């Protein structure tokens, strides 16, 4: 898309950072921060639907997060599983469709089964699509896309940008318009590397558990005031 007057934000990706520091600042274990972070995620999903977004990608667990203490990894996976198990009514009432980005194969069989069930049961829901980036890495997604292309008989010589995009995890989902990172750092941390080529970025100093609907509104309002040129010149 050339030109720079397109301000509709359909897809937001969020790097939900700061759970551990939120907890540590209160003298609580890091796991309390993740529990609070899950509550925030639920509130932001609700708000995103209300604010008219079509897609929300949440960076739940990266390919690098396996390096954390086993207890913390198990806790996060347990939270995700419990969320998927318990929130079917919430998805139904809000018409939310659950999707996944990342490498499913390294996930425990029980999480994988819950994820598949949630995706299957919500596949015809017409509202917000929530993409859970779980065991997700941007570089890993690109490598898996190249492998899928090769498996489909598409050699390197036959690949162009559009072709490679069609082998990504969710080729039907438009690129994110806005990537938000909470927690005060200014990094992409391997999140949606390919898809964020033309995304706007917003950084919030707040820890994820403190993030609110008002923060999402502010980020969207700021997005609306920016000019997106996609490499084109100002007209
Ligand atoms: C980053 O904070 C957060 C995570 C790695 C886990 C995020 C997971 C959740 C909020 C659960 C959401 C689940 C669903 C299903 C939506 P951090 O631990 O890196 O914080 P720190 O930088 O302060 O240590």
Flag whether pLDDT at 235 surpasses 60: no
DSSP letters for 107-141: S-HHHHHHHHHHHHHTTT--S-EEEEEEEE-HHHH
Average confidence (pLDDT) over 19-23: 98
Q: Which stretches within 152-212 are classed as H helix?
A: 161-165
Contact 194, 173 (CB under 8 A): no
Q: Which of 65, 94, 170, 190 is catalytic?
A: 65
Q: What is the tens place of the pLDDT at every residue in 164-194? A: 999 999 999 999 999 999 999 999 999 999 9
Q: Which atom of ligand 1 is nearest to the CA of 30?
A: 18
- Confirm or reject: Cβ of 56 under 6 Å from ligand 1: no
Mean pLDDT across the stretch 116-141?
98
Cα 14 from Cα 44, distance rounded (Å): 10
pLDDT at residue 112 above 80? yes
CB 177 within 8 A of CB 199: yes
Question: In the numeric block, which tokens belong to residue 75?
Answer: 């806790």
User: Residue 2 pLDDT > 50, yes or no?
Assistant: no
199 and 179 Cβ atoms separated by less than 8 Å: yes
Q: Is the pLDDT of residue 16 over 80?
A: yes
Mean pLDDT across the chain = 94
pLDDT band at 6 (very low <50, low <70, confident <90, very high): low
Q: Cα–Cα distance between 8 and 76 in angstroms, integer? A: 33
Structural domains of the chain in order of their starting residue, each with its CATH number = 7-224 (3.40.1180.10)
CA distance 154 to 204: 41
pLDDT at 228: 72
Phi first, then psi: give them for residue 35, nearest 5 degrees: -60, -45
Query: Given a cut of 80, is residue 1 above it in pLDDT?
Result: no
Task: Tell me how far the alpha carbon of residue 162 lies from the centroid of ligand 1, in angstroms.
Answer: 32
CA distances, 170 to each of 10, 107, 129, 183, 195 (Å)? 15, 18, 11, 27, 10
Residue from 20, 68, 91 whose mutation best tests the ligand 1 pocket (most atoms within 8 A of CB)? 20
């Amino acid at each position: 898309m050339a030109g720079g007057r397109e301000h509709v934000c359909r897809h937001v990706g969020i790097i939900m950072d700061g759970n551990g520091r939120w907890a540590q600042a209160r003298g609580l274990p890091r796991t309390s921060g993740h529990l609070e972070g899950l509550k925030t995620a639920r509130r932001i999903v609700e708000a995103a639907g209300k604010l008219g977004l079509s897609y929300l990608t949440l960076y739940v667990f990266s390919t690098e997060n396996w390096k954390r203490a086993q207890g913390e990894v198990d806790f996060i996976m347990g939270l995700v599983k419990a969320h998927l198990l318990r929130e079917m009514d919430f998805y139904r009432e809000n018409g939310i469709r659950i999707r996944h980005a990342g490498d499913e194969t390294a996930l425990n069989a029980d999480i994988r089964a819950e994820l598949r069930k949630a995706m299957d049961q919500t596949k015809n829901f017409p509202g917000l699509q929530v993409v859970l980036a779980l065991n997700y890495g941007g570089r890993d997604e690109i490598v898996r896309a190249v492998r899928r292309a090769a498996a489909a008989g598409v050699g390197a010589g036959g690949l162009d940008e559009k072709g490679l995009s069609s082998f990504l995890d969710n080729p039907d989902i438009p690129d994110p318009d806005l990537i938000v990172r909470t927690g005060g750092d200014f990094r992409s941390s391997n999140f949606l590397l390919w898809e964020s080529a033309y995304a706007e970025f917003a950084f919030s100093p707040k820890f994820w558990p403190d993030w609110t609907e008002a923060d999402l509104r502010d980020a969207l309002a700021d997005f609306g005031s920016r000019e997106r040129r996609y490499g084109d010149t100002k007209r």
